[in-house]
């Protein structure tokens, strides 16, 4: 069927609803486990299905084998489902190769398009790509890619990627076309969009455009929502922390001031002194700082001697009032959700199962009515994980562990029992790579992707890649993963979202050399 516009989906949805209510079947939503954008998109879709009294089931996906196993159960007749939503987990596959659909069944995809997944757009069966206008606008380019892939048969060699602005926005646009969405969907959209900006998957100009769209939607629902656009600083959970630590540990200011060095810490202390904020006040909860001092701080950061380093520190976020004692920003909610998704694994539970458990925790957290008492634990966990990331960054710089090729930088983390517990975890490693990349990009003249390798107990390394921009990110991920699959002994662990690969110890140099060769072509 190929691409499906909002107007076409309205007609399609009438059939879905009638069929689901008539047969008492469930609708299944497959969702990428470790991505806040996919989590928010899935919540928008499932909240809508629930409001329509339709039965649904959410299935977290940690790897493509999960889809294959579900397909086997479907073929065996163990389950009877006719409608599937795939959210964030079809970004680099042709779904028709994994899922055998009958004429009664249909699949709807909300995702980016990388390599083989372009085939989903031109599928002639029951696979539909939900398009809010971006696919249609790039249709001719995508058609050419599909033809080239058909001739070459190698998506990795082609290295194509087409990234949507936000999975949550696509989900929002489609449910909005059927039924007016209010507070929850707008909030989820704000959280997902804010997160993409903080992860640098979208540029500042793209974020401003998307923020304007959200603000317009909020103005329409103004009488019914307590979400407002506000200017804030890009400091990690600073309204739930203290100003000194937020300046010290946030990726933006860590990069600007090199706060992993002693002179960087002194520079932050001098900044606070110049702005008239006593050190004791800076160590207290940010909300306890005098309002005038906070106003003066913002003004001086924008206009004073540090304005060059701080030029992108201020941006628009969205603030939601849960109660008279609790206001939380979309940026804070993103950091909390990501820490829930990246929660430490148990040695007795397989990695994929822990990822799914973490996803369910995040999904349930979004359904809570938040209060001060149940937000404190989550913010403390997020802050703790940020400190661990920063500690690793500090050691990498102090020990000069960053190496450089003509195409990328890379670092091999030391074998440290204190940090191995975290770096052995796939999604923590992904977030660490992003943090290291943000930390080094302002201190180096040449902007290059960063590859991070971490040792694992069984010998060898797991590795991932970080870079700037959604399109570059998805294309590099495809190449990175395909290379691991070609090298003897290497394995691609995570087949969705960011790639995490296993490299045997004696193959690491070969992998680096082959990656350099591939990216040079």
Q: Residue 213: name the closest of 175, 184, 170, 178 by CA.
A: 170
pLDDT digits (tens, 9 = 90+) for 105-161: 888 888 876 555 666 666 667 888 887 776 666 666 666 655 655 544 444 444 445
List pLDDT tens digits, range 255-284: 888 888 888 888 888 888 887 888 888 898
First-last CA distance in the chain = 35
- Domains of the chain are 2-218 (3.90.1640), 224-382 (no CATH), 399-520 (3.10.310)
pLDDT value of residue 155: 44
pLDDT value for 210 = 93
**183-198 vs 167-176: helix crossing angle, rounded to 10:** 160
CA pair distance 40, 77, nearest whole angstrom: 31
In contact, 23 and 16? CB cutoff 8 Å: no
pTM of this structure: 0.88
- Tell me the C-alpha distance between 168 and 181, whole Å: 13
Nearest Cα neighbor of 117 from 521, 477, 431, 519 is 477
**Spatial separation of the C-alpha atoms in residues 58 and 37, rounded to whole Å:** 15
Q: Tens of pLDDT along the chain (521 residues)?
A: 577 888 888 888 988 888 888 776 778 888 877 789 999 999 999 999 999 988 888 888 877 778 777 777 766 665 678 888 988 887 667 777 777 777 888 888 888 765 556 666 666 678 888 877 766 666 666 666 556 555 444 444 444 455 556 899 999 999 988 887 778 899 999 999 999 999 888 888 999 999 999 999 888 876 556 899 999 999 999 989 999 999 999 988 888 888 888 888 888 888 888 878 888 888 988 888 888 878 877 887 777 666 666 778 889 999 998 877 788 999 999 999 999 988 776 555 566 677 888 888 899 998 877 776 778 889 999 999 999 999 999 999 889 999 999 889 999 999 888 788 788 777 788 888 888 888 777 666 677 889 999 998 878 898 888 876 655 566 677 677 777 777 776 666 554 556 788 888 888 998 899 888 888 87
Number of H helices, E strands in the chain: 21, 17
**Sign of the CA dihedral running 134, 139, 140, 141:** positive
Percent composition of the chain: helix, strand, coil (DSSP 3-state, to 5)? 55, 15, 30
Write the pLDDT tens digit of every residue in 204-224. Answer: 899 999 999 999 988 887 655
């Amino acid at each position: 069927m190929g691409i499906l516009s909002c107007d076409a989906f309205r007609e399609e949805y009438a059939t879905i609803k009638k069929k689901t209510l008539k047969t008492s079947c469930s609708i299944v939503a497959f969702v990428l486990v470790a991505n806040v954008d996919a989590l928010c998109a899935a919540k928008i879709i499932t909240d809508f299905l629930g409001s329509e009294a339709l039965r649904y089931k959410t299935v977290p996906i940690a790897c493509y084998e999960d889809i294959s196993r579900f397909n086997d159960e479907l073929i065996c007749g163990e389950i009877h489902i006719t409608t599937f939503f795939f959210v964030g987990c079809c970004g680099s596959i042709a779904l028709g190769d994994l899922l055998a659909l009958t004429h009664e069944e249909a699949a709807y995809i909300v995702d980016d398009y990388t390599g083989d997944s372009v085939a989903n757009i031109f599928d002639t069966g029951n696979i539909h790509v939900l398009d809010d206008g971006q696919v249609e606008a790039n249709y001719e380019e995508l058609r050419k890619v599909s033809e080239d892939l058909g001739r070459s048969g190698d998506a990795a060699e082609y290295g194509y990627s087409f990234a949507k602005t936000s999975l949550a926005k696509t989900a929002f646009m489609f449910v909005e076309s059927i039924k007016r969405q209010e507070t929850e969907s707008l909030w989820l959209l704000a959280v997902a969009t804010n997160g993409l900006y903080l992860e640098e998957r979208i540029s500042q100009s793209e974020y401003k455009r998307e923020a304007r769209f959200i603000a317009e939607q909020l103005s329409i629902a103004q009488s019914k929502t307590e979400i407002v656009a506000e200017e804030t600083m890009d400091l990690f959970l600073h309204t739930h922390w203290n100003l000194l630590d937020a300046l010290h540990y946030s990726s933006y200011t860590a990069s600007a001031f090199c706060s992993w060095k002693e002179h960087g810490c002194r520079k932050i202390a001098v900044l606070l002194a110049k702005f008239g904020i006593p050190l004791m006040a800076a160590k207290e909860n940010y909300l306890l700082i005098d309002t005038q001092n906070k106003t003066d701080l913002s003004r001086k950061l924008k206009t004073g001697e540090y304005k060059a380093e701080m030029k992108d520190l201020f941006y628009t976020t969205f603030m939601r009032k849960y109660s008279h004692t609790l206001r939380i920003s979309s940026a804070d909610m993103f950091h909390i959700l990501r820490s829930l998704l990246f929660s430490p694994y148990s040695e007795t539970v397989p990695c994929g199962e822990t990822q799914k458990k973490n996803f369910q925790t995040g999904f349930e957290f979004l359904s809570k009515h938040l209060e001060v008492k149940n937000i404190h634990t989550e913010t403390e966990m997020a802050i703790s994980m940020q400190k661990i990331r920063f500690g690793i960054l500090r050691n990498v710089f102090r020990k000069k562990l960053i190496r450089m090729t003509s195409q990328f930088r890379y670092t091999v983390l030391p074998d440290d029992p204190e940090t191995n517990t975290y770096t052995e975890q796939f999604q923590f490693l992904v977030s660490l790579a992003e943090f290291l990349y943000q930390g080094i990009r302002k201190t180096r003249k040449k902007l290059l992707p960063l590859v991070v390798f971490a040792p694992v107990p069984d010998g060898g390394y797991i590795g991932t890649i970080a870079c700037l921009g959604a399109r570059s990110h998805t294309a590099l991920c495809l190449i990175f993963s395909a290379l691991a699959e070609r090298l003897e002994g290497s394995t691609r662990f995570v087949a969705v979202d960011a790639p995490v690969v296993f490299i045997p110890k004696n193959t690491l140099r070969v992998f680096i050399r082959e990656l350099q060769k591939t990216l040079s072509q």
